[in-house]
Amino acid sequence: MFKYFLKRLLWMIPIVLGVAIITFTLLYFTPGDPAYIILGSNATEVELENLRETLGVNQPYLVRLVKYLGDVFLRFDLGTSYSTKTSVTGELIYRLPNTLLLTIASLAISVLIGLPLGVTAAVNQNRLGDRVSMLLALLGVSMPSFWLAMLLVILFAVKLHWLPAMGVGGLKYWILPALSGSTGGIASIARQTRSSMLEVIRSDYVTTARAKGVKERNVIYGHALPNALIPIITLVGTQFGMMLGGTLILENIFGIPGVGSYLTTAVSSRDYPVVQGGVVFLAICFSFCMLMVDMIYALVDPRIKAQYEGKKGK
């Protein structure tokens, strides 16, 4: 198991390298002169040329790529922001906790509400409760999170004055962002849980459990649910990615100084080192999450664990 973990961890290196190469290449071929972007239209040609020299943007593609990769992988230096002149790595690490807090809170809420909701719906298939919760879930997956965020702001901040509309601070500042971030997650986890529970609930081993005299609650949560978890875990992994991406917009709406708002600002001001660094950085976070997902598979299903360990299972 541990060996497999290490192997996967090592495999992340070429992945992240690939992400760095791809983003660097994309942005390299993007039109726009960094020196011009930094100095603006008032700069003289000499000033511009000097700056190009300092930034090293005059050098050929391969030289710059190798230098960039060296900086990133050997010195963990993602470069310097054009607009603020500060270290991208430092800024990202400073902002990461906010982003992670929002993402993980949204994910936790999604699982804690979505999972039991889906199980209950499956157990009561086609009854009123199932119909109502699946209708709500359908609305939930269809609602753009940034619009929901604005609706929540209108209701709870503007009309009711219960919660702050934006900014960071205590718990109450996080309620609206986490709520808007998690609605889609709750809905899609509930839908996935329902459908994979429906499949599992008819299995013979669930009948075996009943025939043993296991209490119904335990039949569902102890015997059926563990078998229904694999596709749910997969979904939770992709939801993490979506929520991480979603922070790009939610952080903007709620004025949270996280990685997402840093990135979107950088995109509109053409601050390429930040964009590049941000993409690589978030890709690392996401890869870690997917690695965790793969590890959780093994905890849930002994057959997958056996596969990881290279034993021949049936």
**Least separation in angstroms between CB 155 and other proteins:** 9
Window 86 to 125, contacts with other proteins (CB under 8 A): 125
Task: Give the integer Cα–Cα distance in Å for 305 and 198.
Answer: 25
Stretch touching other proteins by CB under 8 A, among 1-9, 59-67, 76-84, 204-212: 204-212
Residue 300: name the closest of 201, 240, 238, 231 by CA: 231
User: Closest distance between other proteins and the C-beta of residue 236, in Å?
Assistant: 14
Task: With contacts defined by CB under 8 A, name the span among 71-79, 82-90, 105-113, 273-281 that binds other proteins.
Answer: 273-281
Smallest distance from the beta carbon of 266 to other proteins, in angstroms? 9
- Please answer whether residues 149 and 250 qualify as being in contact, where contact means their C-beta atoms are separated by less than 8 angstroms: yes
DSSP 87: B
In the shown chain, the binding pattern of residues 286 to 305 toward other proteins, with x for contact by CB under 8 A and - for none, equals xx--x---------xxxx--
CA distance 236 to 274: 28
Outline where the chain has alpha helix (H).
2-28, 34-39, 45-55, 61-75, 88-123, 128-142, 145-152, 171-201, 204-211, 216-218, 225-254, 259-268, 272-300, 302-308
Q: Which long-range contacts (C-beta less than 8 Å, at least 24 apart) are formed by 84-90?
A: 88/273, 88/274, 88/277, 88/278, 89/277
Q: Long-range contacts: 5-10, Cβ < 8 Å, 24+?
A: 5/291, 5/295, 8/291, 8/294, 9/291
> Binding other proteins by CB under 8 A: which of 65, 143, 295, 296?
143
147 lies in the binding site for other proteins (CB under 8 A): yes
Single out the segment in contact with other proteins by CB under 8 A; choices: 43-51, 60-68, 72-80, 147-155.
147-155
Instruction: Select the residue interacting with other proteins from 186, 256, 275, 298 (CB under 8 A).
Output: 275
What six digits make up the tokens of 1? 């198991």
- Asked whether position 6 contacts other proteins by CB under 8 A, the answer is no
Candidate residues 183, 263, 273, 297; the one interacting with other proteins per rule CB under 8 A = 263
Which one among 37, 51, 113, 141 touches other proteins, defined by CB under 8 A? 141
Question: Counting contacts by CB under 8 A, is residue 283 touching other proteins?
Answer: yes
In the range 18-77, which residues lie near other proteins by CB under 8 A?
18-19, 22-23, 26-27, 29-30
Report in angstroms how near the CB of residue 279 gets to other proteins at its nearest.
6
Query: Across the strands, what pairs with 80?
Result: 87
* Stretch of 43-51, 64-72, 89-97, 284-292 contacting other proteins, by CB under 8 A: 284-292
Stretch in the footprint of other proteins (CB under 8 A) among 60-68, 78-86, 91-99, 272-280: 272-280
